[in-house]
Amino acid sequence: MSWKQTLEKVGEAHYVLPRRKTMRCEAHLFLSEALLFGEGVGDGEKEGGVEEAVFGQVVNACSFPGATRVVLTPDCHVGYGVPIGTAIETQGVLLPTAAGYDIGCGMVQLETSLTEAQVADVGKRRRWIEEVVRRIGVGVGQSSGKKVSSKLLPEVLRHGAKALGRGHDVAERACIPVDDDRVDVPKRAWEKRDQLGSLGGGNHFCEMQVDQHGKVWVMLHTGSRGLGWNIAKDFFVRGAEALGLPTRSEDSVWLDAGSSLGRAYWNLHNMAANFAIANRLLIGDAVCEAVELVFGGQARVYYEISHNLIQEEGGRFVARKGATRAFPKAHPALEGTAWEATGHPILIPGSMETGSAILFAEAGAEASLYSVNHGSGRRLSRTQAKRVLDQRETDARMAKKGIVLNSRATPLDESGPCYKDLDAVLGAVEAAGLARVDARLRPLACIKGND
C-alpha cells in the first residue's frame, strides 16, 4: 500500500500524515491532489506525483529528537535525510541535515527602470551577460577574482548585510546573530573566503526577466559557496562521531543546541548564512553596474531572502530545507520595516525556460510554519535529464523563446522539463491560502555555471 493512502485531507491542498512508530509529530503536506498523486494519462494510469521515497524522509524528519512540527511545501522531492521542500520546528535541537551543505542559499531580486523594449536587442543582452560574468566568478569552485580584505571578511561573517551598509528593508535578515565569534572557522572553509562575490554552479543562476507589465527584473540564486559547504561537512563528520554513528551518516546527525558542539555549529552556521547574504548583495551590485553600463537604465536591490537555513522563531528553531520563509502583513518580525503593511516578497524561481514568480504571504501561512516552496521542484535528476532529453530540441525551444545564454548549448540538467509545472505549484500555494502570486517573470537572458 502506498503511504499516500494513509494521508488525511484536512483542507484545500492540505494533507496530514498521522504520527506512527518513531515519529514525534505529525507532518503537514501542502500539495494539490495532482501534485501529490500525479496527473491522469489515460487508461487509469497516472504520471508524476510525489516519489514514494519521500515517505521515509518525512518519517525521518518527524523522528528527530526535539521535532515538534514538520511541513512539506508543494515543490517537495527527495533530498538528503529530509525532503527538499521541508520546514522542521524543533525544541532545543539543531538539525544540520535540514540546513544542508549550502547553508544560507537563497535569492536576490533586482528591480530595474527598464522595459522589455529597451532590452530587446539580442546583442546588448549578450554584452550584458559578458559584463556580468567579467565581474563575478561563475562555475563550481570559481572565486570572484577579487581579494577579500582581512577587514571585510570578519565583518561579513559577523554582520552580513549590515557589513555592506544594507538593512532590513532589502534583506530578509540584515544580520544573523553570532553569539560567539571566537569559534574557529574550519581551515578548508576559510580557504574559500575569496569566493565572496561569486555565483558558483549547479542550479545557481543570474537571470534577466520581464514581468506581466513589461518591466525588467534580474533574479539571482546562490549561497555560501565553499565556505558554507566545508562548515557543513565538518559538522556532519563531528556530529556523527559524537553520536557514535558510522561514517556517511549525515542523514541522521542532530545536535543538542546547548552542547559545546551544538553551540559551535550554531555560530558557524550563522556566519555562513551572513556570508551568503553578503555574497548575494555583492553580486547584485555587480549586476546593477552591468545593467546601467549596457542599457543605461537604473537597477537596485528589491529584496534578498534565504531558503536553506535554521533560525530561532517563537522560542524554537525552524529549519527550512529548500523552503522559503513567508511572513504576512503585520507579522511582528516585520514591524517598522517597509514590508509591515504587505508582508515581505517571496522569490520563487521556476526554471530557465518557464519563468519565475514573486509572491506575498497570506495569514494562512501560519499553518505551514510560515513557509512556502523555494522553487517549482525537480522532476528529473541531472543524470536522467542528460539521458532522456535531446540537446538539439532543447536548444531550439530556448532559441524560439529568445532566451540568451552564457553557454553555446543549453544545460540539459537545468532545462525546463527537469522541473515541475510552476503554475501547478503556485496554484497549490494559493489554494492552501499560504500566499498569493504578485508577479510572473519570464526569462530573457540567463547565466549559469557550465559544470
Tens-digit pLDDT profile for residues 384-415: 999 999 999 999 999 999 999 999 999 999 99
pLDDT recorded at residue 46: 53
Q: Residues 205-245: pLDDT tens digits?
A: 999 999 999 999 999 999 999 999 999 999 999 999 999 99
Q: Residues 154-190: pLDDT tens digits?
A: 999 999 999 999 988 999 999 999 998 888 899 999 9
Separation CA 111–CA 11 (nearest Å): 36
Separation CA 223–CA 283 (nearest Å): 11
C-alpha cell at 26: 505529525
pLDDT recorded at residue 144: 79
Ranges under pLDDT 70 in the chain: 1, 40-47, 450-451
pLDDT recorded at residue 45: 45
Residue 231, H or E segment:
helix 225-242
The question of whether 374 is a catalytic residue gets the answer yes
pLDDT recorded at residue 42: 45
pLDDT recorded at residue 168: 83
Please provide the DSSP assignment of 129-183 as one string.
HHHHHHHSEESTT---SSPPPTTHHHHHHHHGGGGGT--TTTBTTS----S-TTS
pLDDT recorded at residue 47: 61
pLDDT recorded at residue 41: 41
**3-448 CATH:** 3.90.1860.10
Helix (H/G/I), strand (E/B), else coil: 97: helix
pLDDT recorded at residue 40: 57
Q: Catalytic one among 28, 168, 204, 374?
A: 374
| The model's pTM | 0.95
Buried b (16+ CB within 10 A) or exposed e, 312-337: eeeebbbbbbbbbbbbbeebebbeeb
